[in-house]
Structures are given as structure tokens and as C-alpha cells.
Amino acid sequence: MAETRVIHGFHAVTARIRQHADSVLELYVDTQRRDPRVRDLLKLAESNNVRVVPVDTKRLDGMAGNARHQGVAARVDAAQKVRHLDDVLDTLTEPALLLVLDGVQDPHNLGACLRSADAFGIHAVIAPKDRAVGLNATVEKVACGAAETVPYITVTNLARTLRELQERDIWVVGADSEAKTDLYGFRHTGALAWVLGAEGEGLRRLTQETCDQLVRIPMLGNVESLNVSVSAGVCLFESRRQRMG
């Protein structure tokens, strides 16, 4: 029997049906919801031959671990398509723009990072298999569908993966608050991989040493650092702005 997991929330469920309808085994909808948003979702499910199961709120609460599910959830095939980094890089028609997350463990941060990655046209998000949150229902809900559109690649050895990127002439840049170069002075429109560290800890020593360059985000106020997902959005926006310019 296939391994399954539950996702919840309108954005996550709708995106999964649109992107990978064949992986949605059942759609669960709160019997108390009859609004237009639910009707649109039911039409989408019907057009994609997704089985709909009416359930009560209490059951949905249990399926979602008492998280805010908005009255919808889905049981999906947990098996992910095998995504190798080479499969992504070999099909690009423009210089690579990647986001590497060194041990992000908060699912809300990972979801927000995926959302920014989707917004700014990032080709893939890379993270280690260990000491990282991985994709789960909370990540998919926060990502608002981006978990289905942005390739999320897990690797066993992050430092080795960074070196492999460098062998492909991809400039590896770490975000570090102590770096001499700031984001405004950083200019690079070629193939690029941004590397951001975990919440509170920043980049691990080996990761930092493997980077080609370190760049800091200028801080003009009293706050010393930014949330990792906010930092990701700032860095990715600047890279996309430079390319468009």
C-alpha cells in the first residue's frame, strides 16, 4: 500500500489537484461549508476525477492536527517524484538561480521561503535531508501552492552539493551578517545560488567556508537580524531585479 500523508488548507489542496491530481487519493470537505470557494474546489475535484468525502469539523481537526485547515484536507500519495539537481539544471534556458537552505527547521519559514522562491522565479530550493524540516502539511499550507511548483531537492551532503554547483560555474553566495560586502554592492547576473542558514544559528562553518562569497543585508534600524524567510525574500528579489535590469 502506498505511503500517504495529509495536506490541508485551500491553497495547498487546490495547487496539489491542479499540479498533480493523480496523487490526490481523497478530498475531505467540511459538510458545514457550502460557500463559493468550496463549490469551486468541488468542481475542480470533479473535473480531475478526485474522490470527495464529506466529513465533520471534528474529523478534519484530527486529520490536520488541530491546525487551521479552512474546512478542507486531502490524503495524497507521499511518494515524491525523484528530483535530482542535474534534472533541473540540465533543462534551464537561462542562468541558474537557486536557493540553498542550510538546516531550516521551522515549517513556517520553509513554507515562506518556497513562496518567495516561486514569486521570484527560483529554479530549485535545495536543503539537506538531515537537520531540516522537510515538506509537511504545515509547509505546504504556508507555501500557498509553491510547494507544488518549485522543485524541492534534498541532498545528503550539502557541502559536496555546493562544490558540484561550483563545478557547473554557479557562483555560491552565502548570506552572513558579518560579511564585508553588502547586498547593495553585490553585482552578479550570472548563474547563482544563494545560501541561507538556519534560524538563530546562521550558516554552518563548513557551509560558510565552501561559499565563493559572503554578502550581508544592510540593517538600518535597531534589529540585528532578519527571519530566514524574510532574508531569502530580500536576496532573491535583488537577484531577480538585477537580471531584469
> Residues annotated in the binding site, as ranges?
197, 217, 226
Q: How far apart are CA 5 and CA 81, in angstroms?
A: 15
Q: How far apart are CA 137 and CA 24, in angstroms?
A: 14
Closest to 176 measured CA to CA, from 203, 204, 212, 211: 203
Contact 107, 142 (CB under 8 A): yes
Closest to 127 measured CA to CA, from 4, 228, 12, 240: 228
3 state DSSP class of 72: strand
Contact 104, 127 (CB under 8 A): yes
Indicate the annotated binding residues for S-adenosyl-L-methionine: 197, 217, 226
Q: How far apart are CA 188 and CA 202, in angstroms?
A: 22
